[in-house]
Amino acid sequence: MTLLKVDRIKICCIMSQQDADIAIECGATCLGLVAQMPSGPGIIDNTTISNLVRYIDNRARAIVLTSEKGANEILRHVDAVGVETVQVVSPVDPSVIKEIKRLAPALEVIPVVHVIDKSSIDYALRLGEYADAILLDTGNFNVEPIELGGTGRTHDWEVSAHIVSRSEKPIYLAGGLDPENVIAAINQVKPHHIDVCSRLRRDGALDRNLCREFIARIRSHSWN
């Protein structure tokens, strides 16, 4: 019997060299750098992102979160900050992801699906035709400013589990995860990768103890 484990662990909202060092020391494989957003924690400017990408170097995969919506705008943003992986947080038509991959096949593109109801399943599967992976997160389009992620809230994991069971592409699970709930989330959803921001932070900075506990619990967990 093959036991499965979470592959990548992405610690998002990295704002400083200290955040990056803590996440890497705790075992993170991916670091999320949040560019200009309508809302959410951890937003930093493009110069800070570029500097952090160079600082992180090859110790982890640096991922920029962009709220740009067009293929050319997203690619310009990627070029400006110098990353090889982009998380597209605005809801976009799958044709945008297709166009990015046509123009930049080597770029790893991870569009976000805000899990709202069963319609999210069809959207995720359509994005998965072109994307390298899909990120399932919590969002709210009915508030001002709009929430595209970083909410600290969970969503309907039953819908997420359904997406994982049907997706041909790897799935990141995000949204309100913390050391207390992450194993229950993994057991229900069975994602390939895990992503987290708000609930590992204290006073705006990444908390070393929470981060260590979060990653240790994930790494010691397996399922079949």
Which residues in this chain contact ligand LGQLAAA5 in the complex, by CB under 6 A?
12-13, 32, 34, 37, 40-43, 65, 89, 137-138, 148-152, 174-177, 195-199
Choice between 2 and 28, CB closer to ligand LGQLAAA5: 28
Choice between 42 and 170, CB closer to ligand LGQLAAA5: 42
The nearest distance, CB 46 to ligand LGQLAAA5, in angstroms, is: 15
Choice between 101 and 153, CB closer to ligand LGQLAAA5: 153
Q: For residues 11 and 201, is the Cβ–Cβ distance under 8 A?
A: no
The nearest distance, CB 93 to ligand LGQLAAA5, in angstroms, is: 18
State which residue has the least CB distance to ligand LGQLAAA5.
Answer: 149
The nearest distance, CB 150 to ligand LGQLAAA5, in angstroms, is: 2
Choice between 85 and 103, CB closer to ligand LGQLAAA5: 85
Choice between 63 and 100, CB closer to ligand LGQLAAA5: 63
The nearest distance, CB 1 to ligand LGQLAAA5, in angstroms, is: 32
